[in-house]
Amino acid sequence: MDKLFSEIKGTSLKDVSKHLRKSSTDPYIDWAIILVIWFILFIIFSIIAYLICGQATSETAAVIKGNLETTTKTFDVQKLDDVLKEMNSRRAEWIRLKDDNYSFPEDPSL
């Protein structure tokens, strides 16, 4: 491994192209290429993920800020009374059907 790093320190573009041509014969160069490519891709994807996360965070903050500015509605007593009357009439109907032994139609397939 030390051999590889010592070779990399003093290389020029010509030397790199020469090493790339013989890459299939030298496993150290193959691994160096793999690691360099992996590191470059890691940096690129990390930057992209950071930018996407920052954009999503700023959009979420804008949505939350927009929701905080909503107005509150006043309580309407008449609407509450209407709902209570409807629910009481439904409950009375349900009790009447339950207690009066309501007969259901017979199943025609029997």
Torsion, Cα 11 12 16 19, to 10 degrees, reads -50
Q: Which tops the pLDDT comparison, 31 or 70?
A: 31
In this structure, how many other beta carbons lie within 10 angstroms of the beta carbon of residue 4? 12
Instruction: Give yes or no for residue 63 having a pLDDT over 70.
Output: no
| Tokens (6 digits) for 58 | 């700023």
Answer yes or no: is 54 within a domain: yes
Answer yes or no: is 42 within a domain: yes
User: What average pLDDT does this structure show over 30-42?
Assistant: 91
Which pLDDT band holds residue 89 (cuts at 50, 70, 90)? Answer: very high
Highest mean pLDDT among 40-44, 59-63, 71-75, 102-106: 40-44
* pTM of the complete model: 0.38
Answer yes or no: is 108 within a domain: no
Answer yes or no: is 109 within a domain: no
Determine the Cα–Cα distance for residues 82 and 88; give it in Å rounded to an integer: 10
Determine the Cα–Cα distance for residues 106 and 109; give it in Å rounded to an integer: 9
Answer yes or no: is 86 within a domain: no
Q: Which tops the pLDDT comparison, 18 or 1?
A: 18
If one counts the domains in the chain, the total is 1
Answer yes or no: is 56 within a domain: yes
Domain enclosing residue 61, as ranges: 2-71
Determine the Cα–Cα distance for residues 39 and 45; give it in Å rounded to an integer: 10
